[in-house]
Structure 1
């Protein structure tokens, strides 16, 4: 069953990538911070896609190399959600977000998390990949790295803070729901035989982030008219 769930997630992400690309083009926002979401969505499409086709590729060097790229994309893409959060803060009208120091801090956190993830995890992960077959999918996982890394936790905390600002200023709840669900989902063990729950929560988070950015951009455009 997991093969079909990973395949469905991949398809949804690919649709989202196209949707984002079209929307960013129409808004002429390719050089804006919001465009980092496209990078994140693509990396998650790749991540779920490689897991989905693991059985078709089969155990071996090809699947190992393709799987190692999943970890590299995770290290570079996920921290950019800090920059997306900064963009959301600015779009929300939060005054402190317009200060240059806030931009500097956002970039420093982003770069710091990339370096931390690569040095602390990725370099070791790609050297210690072990093939596993679980819930009908064949994939490579890193040995000795259990639980969510600090990088993911920090990104989640920042997004949770941003979601509260948006909730307070605009009564927009969906970013808070998407972020909170990712945290709560890690704490609650549901009685289902699947390894895809975290991936589903990630998709909900990305959708909530994208919907929030488009909501705020639409609100800004409306105020300018």
Structure 2
């Protein structure tokens, strides 16, 4: 069951990426908001590797692809901080100063560095079969989300709240809230792909938020 879900998530992300690219608005490609595209590409890679794991089988190929999953996650997920500042700088009612822009870049770099040092430098993987899915997971199990995820989630929620207050746009906050709930609530469902489903919902709301703030470009 989960294997099909990961295939489905991969196809949905590809569809989201195609939908989110506005060919009429080339300027938006170079904006800070366009970091969402990199995050989507990372999620396509992540879900595709998990989906095809059982077909590849245990071995060095799947293990190396799994390392790619973890490294891409470490480099791409923190860029959501830059995406958030790019969203806020388009608000007519929020004044974003250059120090905030520099701060967002610095936070992103720090989060990538922390993730690499705490999660990846000594990372070793082992195969695991779960709900019909073969993936490689860390041999040392960490309890609770990494600090990088916690900070990125907090910034997403804060950005969503600011947009709700100043722009009357609630949907980014809704998406971030659902993602948070999906990460901390244990659902009575035999599946390891539930959290990934909430990630899909979050990305959909982030893409719609990008299109919303760029509607006047």
Report the TM-score when normalising by structure 1: 0.92
Following superposition of structure 1 onto structure 2, how do residues 50-129 of structure 1 map, counting pairs within 5 Å?
A: 50-97=49-96, 99-125=97-123, 128-129=124-125
| Residue 19 of structure 1, CA deviation | 2.2
Name the counterpart of 1:133. Answer: 129
| Residue 94 of structure 1, CA deviation | 4.4
What SS does structure 1 have at the residue aligned with 2:37? helix
The correspondence for 2:187, drawn from 190, 199, 204, is: 190
How many aligned residue pairs are there? 215
Worse-superposed segment, 25-34 or 106-115:
25-34
Instruction: Determine the C-alpha separation between the residues in 1 that align with 2:210 and 2:154.
Output: 18
Name the counterpart of 1:13. Answer: 13
Worse-superposed segment, 134-143 or 169-178:
169-178
Instruction: Determine the C-alpha separation between the residues in 2 that align with 1:186 and 1:31.
Output: 31
Retained in 1: the 8 A contact 2:93–2:167?
A: no
CA deviations over 1:29-57 (Å, ceiling 9, x no partner): 22111211111001001101100000110
| Residue 154 of structure 1, CA deviation | 0.1
Return 5+ residue gaps in structure 2 as ranges. Answer: none
Return 5+ residue gaps in structure 1 as ranges. Answer: none
Which stretches of structure 1, 4 residues or more, deviate above 4 A after TM superposition? none
| Residue 80 of structure 1, CA deviation | 0.3
Pairwise CA RMSD:
1.1
Task: Please state which structure has a larger fraction of its residues in helix.
Answer: 1
